[in-house]
Structure 1
Amino acid sequence: MKPSPLRSTVAGAPHRLAESALLFPLLTLMVLGIIWVGVLRLTANEMAAADRAAALLARELSETCEAQVLGALHEIDQTLKLVKYAHETGSRLRELDSLEARALLPQDPRFTVSLIDRDGRVLAGTRDPSGAGRVDAAELRAARAIDAMVVGLPRPASDDPAAPGATLRFSRRLDAGDGSFDGIATVTVDAAYFTAGYDAARLGEHGVLALLGRDGVFRARRSGAVVTTGDRTDYAALRARLPDDGAALSTPWDGVRRHARMRELPGFPLAVIAGVADDEQFAAARAKRRTFVLRASAASAVVICVFGLLGRLSHALARSRRRAVEEHIAHARRVEYLAYHDSLTGLPNRSLFSKLLGQGIAEAREHERQLAVLFLDLDHFKQINDTLGHDAGDDLLKEVALRLRACLGEGDTVARLGGDEFVVLLPATASDARITDVAEAILTAVARPFMLIGQEFRISASVGAARYPLDGLDEQSLTKHADSAMYQAKEDGKNNFQFYSETRSANALQRLSLEASLRRALERDEFALHYQAKRDAVTGQLTGMEALLRWEHPDLGSIGPMQFLPVAEESGLIVPIGRWVLRTACAQGMAWQKQGLPALPVAINLTARQFFDPRLIGELSAALTVTGLAPELLELEVAESLLMNDVERSVGILTHLRLLGVRIAIDDFGVGYSSLSALRQFPIDSIKIDRSFMRDAGSVPEARALTEAIIGMGRTLSMSVVAQGIETEAQADYLRANGCNEFQGYYVSRPLAAGEFEQVLRGDLAGQGGGLAAPASSAVA
């Protein structure tokens, strides 16, 4: 029996549907919908969990901070009440001594308790003889008005406005016997103390921990390692946006979106704010979301490929041919681009710049106008590469390229010649003023901070300019003279701009000649060491010596250290020269010991490049092993300013040096204004007072006060204090009276060659060389 036509039509419908062009697109959309709905639910759950975790963390941090700050404030208020009670029942001026003697005052060195009279003068203070400084009338009026603790505004940590840090002063009214106002008691503490609980592991680099007054002034606010004070905000508006149960918002002071909580401190006109940055807290959830999206994308691609395969087979051959043609064209364009552009920065390279400069010179000659070439070199770029790695250096060069482009106008060109060298072409420059404006814009742009490997770094640039036709008529001359002008800028201290000068170019050639001679000086045995004695300030006995480098040039004669040492440091030659000094001084000390002469420490200066050289420890160990000199008879002198540039890194290097057993001294102490807390971090044996203090100690009160403070600091830390540059008996008597341990300078002895110094050693050994005598002259060592 034949099937009916209707039944045949119904039975054949699925087959026609399966053959339809709509089947594969419909199946594709259905599967993709299932995949992406699941992905959206997963990512929504992850983000919601991260949001809850951030809110909970903000709550825990705010409660912890509230408890810690409340404890500190109650302790401060209790101290003020105790001082008030002691003042109103005691002897006015001696209550602080009595309370401190009974350990009733805060023992933390960051707290300073002071008594202020009704006129704002400091009567007494703990730890700091000047107390917390003179109190202004506004602060007195505030404390006088109420019998409660007054929270002051942040103020500089010292009278020096450039000094870092700030302090907070808490005060309470003092009454006389008749109940009248008799002054105030104050407790001064570092503002950073209230944000010391900042835990980077939990708060991250962009979290916030803050103490805010109800007057809208931040007493202290910390994000990452940065502590700020004194900023203002709208307290009421912030309180409304940050309830006790927390909120997620962009904080008004820096615009960072955070989960934060604000808690007012009962009994005090203050509130604490704690929060975590959403970018950091949501990083893991966003990473998972990216993973989910990537996997879903991969799965979607597979689905699309599978279901689209049949429909795309007919077009595969044509697409392949079209792609081959497109790739060939793109490859040709890429080859042409790479031939004329720098692969790292995308700027024109030397070849393209040469062509553009040649065209610019031809047009300038034809139209009788001026053009300029600016040669730019980054200062200390090698240190970035050596310290942070070449990847960071590449990132820096890319950012520099972007900033240079932004400094130029239409028609101007910037190119990278290689390394950290860039060159700028100003093809239609009417005046030197325009060249100067562009150069200064470049210096300003490069001087802005760079973010490398998550940290802020600053560099500078040196720029030289040559003009057509004034400084050259062809491409080679202009480029060469711009390069020469750039080196003139470096000689003037870097981070500046110079036009080409023929006279200064000749001086640069002389410097290059000096550097070339310096490279051959070691091979030709032109260096020698002189030794200057150090003597005990009281007994006059010889206590040691300092090795000083001298250069006897065969043609130029004696060249002073201040002439050749900066060249050696900048060129890197100081490293092999310093290695020679180290071994020579150790060998000479050991030779004197073998002759039966006293075993005295020999001191050697380390420059910045030597100190941060990773091979320093190995070279020291090798020198001591080869010469046989005992480590305790070698003293390494490091300039104070060098140590303070990077305290953490310096402490690490000094610790490794100390493990070798050598002695460590801080040279030129006093010019860097190290604090006692900073000095305590360094494992050092002695400090050498800078010679400038010796010149001024007799006539400048500030120099005298600083000298006495340095000696007192040395005694406090059980360090030997050495005075450099002693030239007169009056200087020696003054330092001896103030407890200085050792003297060095022309009053003791001028630097002597090894043979002459050996006679000094023999005279001391025979009892004929002791004591101190005034010098015959006062030349600088």
Structure 2
Amino acid sequence: MMLLVIWGSAYFLVNKERMAIERQTELSVGEITDTYEARVVRALREIDTALKLVRFTVNSTDHASVLNVLNEQRLLPPALLFTISIVDEQGMVIDTTDSGLLGQYLTPPSQSTLGDDYLAVGEIEAYQEKQLTFTRPLMPDQEGGSGWVVIAIDANYFVSSYEVRSLGQQGMLALVDSEGIVRVRRSGDTIHSGELMDIAVWKSSTPDAVTAPFLTHWQGVESYTLVRKLYDFPLSIVVGLSAQEQLDAAQQLARNYWQRAGWTSGLLLIILAILGRLSWQLQRARQRVMDERVIHAQQLAFHDTLTDLPNRAFLSHLVSQEVVLCGRHGESFALLFLDLDRFKLINDSLGHAVGDYLLQEAAKRLTGAIRESDVVARLGGDEFIILLRKVSRTDQIEPIADELLSSMRQPFVLAGQDYNISVSIGVALFPGDGLDEQSLMKNADMAMYQAKQAGKNKVHFYSIAPN
């Protein structure tokens, strides 16, 4: 009976550890997928915003070099990562941020794929490197000619967040288009592209494939896999963890348990105590590591580390939710775009440490000046966004905006001296000033610039809402 208890206990603990590791693996896949999705969507939104900006500018300006004009205004993403080109209807590059591409020809996407206003994803070979391209068509000019605007970026950029520590040597980060073609995939230190991945079959055979990891057999590797279709983009992300790599720890534990059971089969009580204690310690250590990963992933994905405010990704999520809820119930809300006046002067003259302190203090004042139901987020630099819920008229917004202006006019103590800082505010109302996040953000931004031009330390509404 003693031997039966020892070996039965060892068998039970081995299976318990295996199930715990399998569960932890499923949680890890979900955490990694959430973080990866947030990073990729942030990059794609930046790319698509730049495409739409260039397209709009080309169709509304007489400038000979649109890209130079936008670059001088710092409205384009960094040229070190992104190459932006304007191509005529014959496929020739007529304007580009990379002079080496000027006059070259690019293969246009098919009209059936591109349509009138559709984001097309493709790839090119440039400087012996594979680059992903994102294309939007231009509107036809007066002579009937057209073309398109293209942003190219090194495909490796979309899998650069691969970490062997969390994904292993046989894990997977992949970006797959709507036809199942792998645009870029990384496993360990190896990067692939051009493969065909049956993500449609995987999702159809697994009802909750978007939220729950499932086992796949692909390229000779069995993996715990998650597939996420990216909202508003013809792409999906795929994240996988090798089942073999994840279960290696369980197999090592199994060997340890069997050896200990064999060596101490005559010491039943001692063995049970040791195994119980070891299992408890392993569970506690694993839980701590898992909690730390979850907290770290949430901080990276949704919070600004300097001010501890929600960041742009989290704000985008909140605004998208508010659009859906308000559209469903016929309610309104407002977005306030805020930019600190004279921040660059103080940051340049007193140093970045003082500038960071000013941003932290400004964040506290803004948070203290709004209602509990409202949200302050940091967009980047000295720009902030405030989401005001359940407001529909200017007379509801003006007192809050006045309180914001008043709180920022109080002197800031910087480097031992008082400095007067003000803020310019632009306001856009849903649904009158925009029906989606991008339109509201753009219109609030435009209103803020009008407040700046009117002398700063002011509030400007993009349009006057009915009282």
2:341 equivalent in structure 1? none
Of 137, 141, 144 in structure 1, the residue corresponding to residue 111 of structure 2 is 141
Whether the 8 Å CA contact 2:92–2:103 is kept in 1: the answer is no
Whether the 8 Å CA contact 1:259–1:277 is kept in 2: the answer is yes
Of 199, 205, 213 in structure 2, the residue corresponding to residue 247 of structure 1 is 213
TM-score (structure 2 length as normaliser)? 0.54
1:46-125 matches, cutoff 5 A: 46-91=17-62, 93-125=64-96
Distance 1:131 1:228, change over 3 A: farther
Q: Structure 2: how far apart are the matches of 1:218 and 1:178?
A: 39
1:228 aligns with 2:192: yes
Shift of 1:302: 8.9
Shift of 1:229: 1.0
Shift of 1:136: 1.8
Of 138, 141, 151 in structure 2, the residue corresponding to residue 174 of structure 1 is 138
Shift of 1:256: 1.1
1:341-740 matches, cutoff 5 A: none
Q: Which runs of 5+ in 2 are unaligned?
A: 269-467
Whether the 8 Å CA contact 1:191–1:220 is kept in 2: the answer is yes
Match of 1:121, as an amino acid? M
Whether the 8 Å CA contact 1:111–1:189 is kept in 2: the answer is yes
Of 258, 263, 276 in structure 2, the residue corresponding to residue 298 of structure 1 is 263
Shift of 1:145: 2.0
Shift of 1:117: 0.1
Q: Structure 1: how far apart are the matches of 2:125 and 2:58?
A: 28
In structure 1, the residue corresponding to 2:5 is in which secondary structure? helix
In structure 1, the residue corresponding to 2:231 is in which secondary structure? coil
Of 231, 234, 237 in structure 2, the residue corresponding to residue 269 of structure 1 is 234
Whether the 8 Å CA contact 1:143–1:172 is kept in 2: the answer is no
Distance 1:136 1:92, change over 3 A: farther
1:211 equivalent in structure 2? 175
Match of 1:79, as an amino acid? A
Deviations 1:592-619 (A, max 9, x none): xxxxxxxxxxxxxxxxxxxxxxxxxxxx
Of 125, 129, 154 in structure 2, the residue corresponding to residue 190 of structure 1 is 154
Whether the 8 Å CA contact 2:177–2:236 is kept in 1: the answer is yes
Deviations 1:327-357 (A, max 9, x none): xxxxxxxxxxxxxxxxxxxxxxxxxxxxxxx
In structure 2, the residue corresponding to 1:175 is in which secondary structure? coil
Shift of 1:40: 1.3
Whether the 8 Å CA contact 2:94–2:103 is kept in 1: the answer is no
Shift of 1:188: 0.3
Of residues 254-263 and 212-221 in structure 1, the stretch that sits farther from structure 2 once superposed is 254-263
User: RMSD of the alignment, in Å?
Assistant: 2.3
Distance 1:198 1:128, change over 3 A: farther
Q: Structure 2: how far apart are the matches of 1:201 and 1:45?
A: 24
Number of residues of Structure 1 aligned to a counterpart in Structure 2: 266
Larger radius of gyration: 1
Match of 2:211, as an amino acid? D
Q: Structure 1: how far apart are the matches of 2:50 and 2:225?
A: 32
Deviations 1:274-327 (A, max 9, x none): 121122222222211110011112234999xxxxxxxxxxxxxxxxxxxxxxxx
1:40 aligns with 2:11: yes
1:399 equivalent in structure 2? none
Q: Which runs of 5+ in 1 are unaligned?
A: 1-29, 304-781
Whether the 8 Å CA contact 1:212–1:220 is kept in 2: the answer is yes
Higher relative contact order (CA 8 A, sep 6+): 2
Shift of 1:206: 1.2
Deviations 1:401-460 (A, max 9, x none): xxxxxxxxxxxxxxxxxxxxxxxxxxxxxxxxxxxxxxxxxxxxxxxxxxxxxxxxxxxx
Shift of 1:85: 0.7
1:697 equivalent in structure 2? none
Whether the 8 Å CA contact 1:198–1:209 is kept in 2: the answer is yes
Q: Structure 2: how far apart are the matches of 1:257 and 1:179?
A: 56
Deviations 1:221-259 (A, max 9, x none): 00011111111122311323560123342332x121221
1:282 equivalent in structure 2? 247
1:257 equivalent in structure 2? 222
Shift of 1:176: 2.8
Match of 1:112, as an amino acid? T
2:98 equivalent in structure 1? 127
In structure 2, the residue corresponding to 1:129 is in which secondary structure? helix
Whether the 8 Å CA contact 2:155–2:183 is kept in 1: the answer is yes
In structure 2, the residue corresponding to 1:51 is in which secondary structure? helix
1:407 equivalent in structure 2? none
1:151 aligns with 2:115: no
Distance 1:246 1:205, change over 3 A: same
Distance 1:280 1:144, change over 3 A: closer
TM-score (structure 1 length as normaliser)? 0.33
Q: Structure 1: how far apart are the matches of 2:225 and 2:104?
A: 36
Q: Structure 2: how far apart are the matches of 1:89 and 1:190?
A: 30
Whether the 8 Å CA contact 1:172–1:185 is kept in 2: the answer is yes
1:303-318 matches, cutoff 5 A: none
Distance 1:151 1:179, change over 3 A: farther
Q: Structure 2: how far apart are the matches of 1:140 and 1:118?
A: 12
Whether the 8 Å CA contact 1:176–1:182 is kept in 2: the answer is yes
Shift of 1:144: 4.8
Shift of 1:97: 0.7
Match of 2:193, as an amino acid? T
Deviations 1:103-128 (A, max 9, x none): 11111512100000011111111034
Whether the 8 Å CA contact 2:216–2:225 is kept in 1: the answer is no
Q: Structure 2: how far apart are the matches of 1:51 and 1:286?
A: 12
1:712 equivalent in structure 2? none
Q: Structure 2: how far apart are the matches of 1:87 and 1:250?
A: 46
Shift of 1:179: 9.6
Q: Structure 2: how far apart are the matches of 1:100 and 1:93?
A: 13
Match of 1:84, as an amino acid? R
Distance 1:31 1:302, change over 3 A: same
Match of 2:125, as an amino acid? P
